[in-house]
Amino acid sequence: MSLITNLLVDLLGLFPDGLIWRFARPYIAGPSLSAGLLSQAALNKAGYLATMDLLGEDTLSDGDAENAVAHYLALATGIAESGSQANVSLKLTQMGLNLSYDQTLARVGRIHGACLDQDLFMRIDIEDSSTTDRTFDLYKTLRSQSATVGVAIQAYLKRSLADISDLCDAGSLNVRICKGIYRESPEIAYTDRQQIRENFLALMGHVLDRGGYPALATHDDRLIDAALADIKKRALTPDQYEFQMLLGVGDKLRETLIRAGHRVRIYIPYGEAWKAYSLRRFKENPTLAYYIFKNLLRPI
Ligand SMILES: Cc1cc2nc3c(=O)[nH]c(=O)nc-3n(C[C@H](O)[C@H](O)[C@H](O)COP(=O)(O)OP(=O)(O)OC[C@H]3O[C@@H](n4cnc5c(N)ncnc54)[C@H](O)[C@@H]3O)c2cc1C
């Protein structure tokens, strides 16, 4: 992510929401739960699984954290009533992790309870490294109560191979493996792209060796090819792993995977906090950021 891209995207943030929305649209289902459910239904129809994420993180008040819980309870009911193939993903800082661990555990426990009632799987996203220990502790507490909870892990963190072993010890593991999206110090995180890929594959191998279920969250075609080679070598059946991609990213790749008989789950973000999320997406894709900026500046 270059300084220029950062600067461009910061400038984009000053444009009116309506204009930004034109470009954010592919990445976000919409501002409301009903928009999220519509997107999920369309993806299911095309053969994809889904995971629904209410946008928002770093909640600064108990009131906002409680609102997020209420949204997730409504989401669990909404998914169940629509009868679709989806689960839920959530961020612990949205539930107040940086305010109180115990209250976050209680809040996420309520959401997990609602998911259990509706027969839904709940995944805990992984955030920046200041939250890693607390995220895995909270996961292990919920995992000791039920197997319908999973977590995510980042291949760029040097600690992750040790963590995955510990997480497997807590009971059969359903884990999303991703590269990692936060800025971390080179002391704790790999910065070399190839090294991150190798760690991703090592994490995948470890989970499979321990009888777990890896959800491979990447749009990196080289990494996907290497994962597919391992899947073939191990003669896995498609119910033993899945691929995951973000809404609006890697559409051709996901279609190729589905056609070849693999499971693909699309991460569907929705909610009123769409602008901050979209600006982050633009920062990750400099070509898109330049394109948007050029179009916004073009005379009508
Ligand atoms: C389903 C899913 C869930 C995730 N959950 C988490 C999580 O819980 N915690 C966490 O730290 N990270 C999470 N991530 C993000 C992940 O860690 C990476 O930062 C991100 O996926 C980019 O890595 P990549 O493997 O796709 O490879 P890259 O080499 O970065 O990307 C491959 C190609 O995809 C394009 N691309 C990738 N991501 C985007 C994007 N966001 N917008 C536009 N184009 C993009 C790139 O331009 C490139 O062409 C998740 C990713 C996915 C797919």
CA distance 71 to 27: 20
Contact between 243 and 262 (Cβ < 8 Å) = yes
Task: Report the residue among 178, 183, 242, 282 best suited for mutation to probe ligand 1: largest number of ligand atoms under 8 A from its CB.
Answer: 178
Q: Phi and psi of 52, rounded to 5°?
A: -100, 135
Q: What is the pLDDT of residue 275?
A: 85
Nearest in space to 155 (alpha carbons), one of 102, 217, 75, 234 = 217
The tens place of each residue's pLDDT in the chain, 300 residues long, gives 577 777 877 887 888 888 888 888 888 999 999 999 999 999 999 999 999 999 998 899 999 999 999 999 999 999 999 988 899 999 999 999 999 999 999 999 999 999 999 999 999 999 999 999 999 999 999 999 999 999 999 999 999 999 999 999 999 999 999 999 888 999 999 999 999 999 999 999 999 999 999 999 999 999 999 999 999 999 999 999 999 999 999 999 999 999 999 999 999 999 998 888 888 777 777 777 776 767 666 654
Instruction: Please give the helix or strand (H or E) that residue 250 lies within, else none.
Output: none
**Identity of the residue numbered 292:** I
The atom of ligand 1 lying closest to the CA of 180 is 17
The atom of ligand 1 lying closest to the CA of 178 is 17
- Kindly list the distances between the CA atom of residue 144 and the CA atoms of 31, 147, 179, 241, in Å, as whole numbers in the listed order: 35, 8, 27, 22
- Kindly list the distances between the CA atom of residue 68 and the CA atoms of 75, 81, 103, 109, in Å, as whole numbers in the listed order: 10, 20, 13, 13
Question: CB atoms < 10 A from the CB of 276, how many?
Answer: 12
Q: What is the pLDDT of residue 300?
A: 42
Task: Report the residue among 27, 54, 224, 249 best suited for mutation to probe ligand 1: largest number of ligand atoms under 8 A from its CB.
Answer: 249
Nearest in space to 71 (alpha carbons), one of 269, 215, 278, 244 = 269
Nearest in space to 215 (alpha carbons), one of 160, 252, 278, 263 = 263
Which residues lie with the beta carbon below 6 Å from any ligand 1 atom?
A: 125-126, 152, 154, 176, 178-182, 217-220, 244-246, 249-250, 267, 281, 284-285
